[in-house]
Amino acid sequence: MTYKELSSQIFNKKSYLCVGLDTDPHKLPPHLLKEPDPVFAFNQAIIDATADLAVAYKPNIAFYEAQGPRGWESLQRTLEYIPADCFTIADAKRGDIGNTSSLYARTFFDPDAAGLNFDSVTVAPYMGRDSVLPFLDYAGKWVILLALTSNSGSADFQRQRILTDSAREQELFEMVIKTAQTWAGPDKLMFVVGATQADELSRIRELAPDSFLLVPGVGAQGGSLAEVSRRGLTAAGGLLVNASRSILYASGGTDFADRARAEAQLLQTEMAEYLDAGVLAIK
Amino acid sequence: MTYKELSSQIFNKKSYLCVGLDTDPHKLPPHLLKEPDPVFAFNQAIIDATADLAVAYKPNIAFYEAQGPRGWESLQRTLEYIPADCFTIADAKRGDIGNTSSLYARTFFDPDAAGLNFDSVTVAPYMGRDSVLPFLDYAGKWVILLALTSNSGSADFQRQRILTDSAREQELFEMVIKTAQTWAGPDKLMFVVGATQADELSRIRELAPDSFLLVPGVGAQGGSLAEVSRRGLTAAGGLLVNASRSILYASGGTDFADRARAEAQLLQTEMAEYLDAGVLAIK
């Protein structure tokens, strides 16, 4: 999916909601356990219930990997089921030396490898340029690089101040954002910024004015959609705000899909207001 | 495997060789392609040929993941086949917010999850403390944290100088090593240091005098075993030096296992000399 197509989806659906498919086999409604692939059955119902409200789906790869080979099969089925007009994100946080990163890129981008054809993958920046470039080699595919994450541990290294030759002090996450933009433009590269980091979002928006930001942490982790939207929205949309647990596990019973839709609808309604108000109006 | 057991293995076998199982289906000797699981057949032969010379095996997870569900099955079979006296490393470079890292830990450490029971997993530090702690929750299991990697991109962020309140300047990888040691001791925590970074090894050994270091980059990537050993060996061993491609692909024919053994033997013979000479003598 191109930058322009993603932007169009956002304004068409009046939504920048990404539904995180953090599907935990231990949290499934009991009536699904008799299905041949309960994880897929759950995802299918969640996708059916939210596809007109969401512009993106983000399977968290750990949840599938922890099920072994059958988890990868659930992931394949889920990805195939996501409608073509939705952007897909493999939340995998991979990153390794070049020849290994090439294989991770192949895993998530080349359907002839592991049967997966994601639009994008999340990548960890610690190993630098040659650990990221192989993911950028695929036409039409995106890298979503970790910048400032939503967890408390983000303070340990991401917030450290870096000594540079220039007078202006910068933190590690700022250097990551600046450096990575020398590797690819906003048509191929997004950044992960936690919703719990809203104070830093204005600074990040200045550093990456046209980049899409993937923002997890609204909902269960406590981030504010209003704050994130005020600081992060651009004329092209520029945000994908993820909610996972608050949607998936709104109910543990047979009404889980309806309740998931209701939660997604609340977020989408709020997003539509911010989009209708226009970026300048809400700033 | 405990610190003491690993140390004993090193002195018993006179080896700190780790064989990296970066098994590429496209590089297998043609005669193996008729096997039901060619990747496992290859690994089995490599393990048979090297198990008395190596103290550790390190499957690079990307190579298995890129094969989809059948790759995970090859990985399960391979891990089961590795002799119990060898330390096993899932080279996965995972790391995510706490609840997700818990699932990655379960994947590699809990045999009831994905059918894997590794001794250790490599972890990326960018997301900080709470992204690493879940891996440390497993008794008898190890975290091998990326510190200073062997690739050129290690200069981009790992070598950045950090501003701290103390007078002494430090680079990011040094801060990672110091900080991580407040999370766990050398009985649970190792560091990845590339063999191409031998100049920094003495400094790293000072920062982490008792920690095992996993050192990739000898062989195909050009690092020197002599330099690494001189700067990294300790009285407990303290090193796991990895070689992958130079062993696995020493020959592409029916003699691949013999040639792999010969390559491993060269490294082990050199390691035995350094161990026999004693740490102080070679310093």
Which ipTM was obtained for this model? 0.96
Long-range pairs of A60-63 with CB within 8 A, sequence gap ≥ 24: A60/A20, A60/A21, A60/A22, A60/A91, A60/A244, A60/B96, A60/B100, A61/A90, A61/A91, A61/A92, A62/B94, A62/B96, A62/B100, A62/B101, A62/B103, A62/B104, A62/B107, A63/A21, A63/A22, A63/A23, A63/A24, A63/B100, A63/B103
Pairing mode of beta strands B170-171, B161-162: antiparallel
Among candidates B60, B63, B131 on the partner chain, residue whose Cβ is nearest the Cβ of A151: B131
From B69, B103, B130, residue closest to A63, measured CB to CB: B103
Q: How far is B34 from chain A (nearest CA, A)?
A: 19
| pLDDT, tens digit, 9 for 90 and up, residues B163-210 | 877 667 799 999 999 999 999 999 999 999 999 888 899 999 999 999
A222 touches chain B (CB under 8 A): no
> Hey, is the C-beta of A169 within 8 angstroms of any chain B C-beta?
yes
- Judged by CB atoms within 8 Å, which residues 187-206 of A form the interface with B? none
**Could you tell me the residue range of the domain that residue A65 belongs to?**
3-282
Q: Under an 8 A CB cutoff, do A176 and B157 touch? A: yes
**One of B27, B93, B178, B283 is an active-site residue; which one?**
B93
Report residue A129's pLDDT band, with 50, 70 and 90 as the boundaries: very high
For B70-92, what is each residue's pLDDT tens digit? 999 999 999 999 999 999 999 99
Query: What is the CATH number for A58?
Result: 3.20.20.70
Interface of A with B in 13-52 (CB under 8 A): 22
Question: Is the Cβ–Cβ distance between A150 and A217 less than 8 Å?
Answer: yes
Active-site annotation holds for B93: yes
pLDDT tens readout for residues A51-82: 999 999 999 999 999 999 999 999 999 999 99
Reported as a single tens digit per residue, the pLDDT across B115-154 is 999 999 999 999 999 999 999 999 999 999 999 999 999 9
Residue A165 has what pLDDT? 72
For residue A151, give every residue at least 6 positions away whose Cβ sits within 8 Å of its Cβ, in sequence order, or none: A194, B97, B98, B127, B128, B130, B131
At residue A217, the pLDDT reads: 85
pLDDT of B17 over the 70 cut: yes
Tell me how many domains chain B contains.
1
Is B151 in Cβ contact with A130 (below 8 Å)? yes
Q: What per-residue string of b and e applies to A70-104 under the rule 16 or more CB within 10 Å gives b?
A: ebbbbbbbbbeebeeebbbbbbbbbbbbbbbbbbb
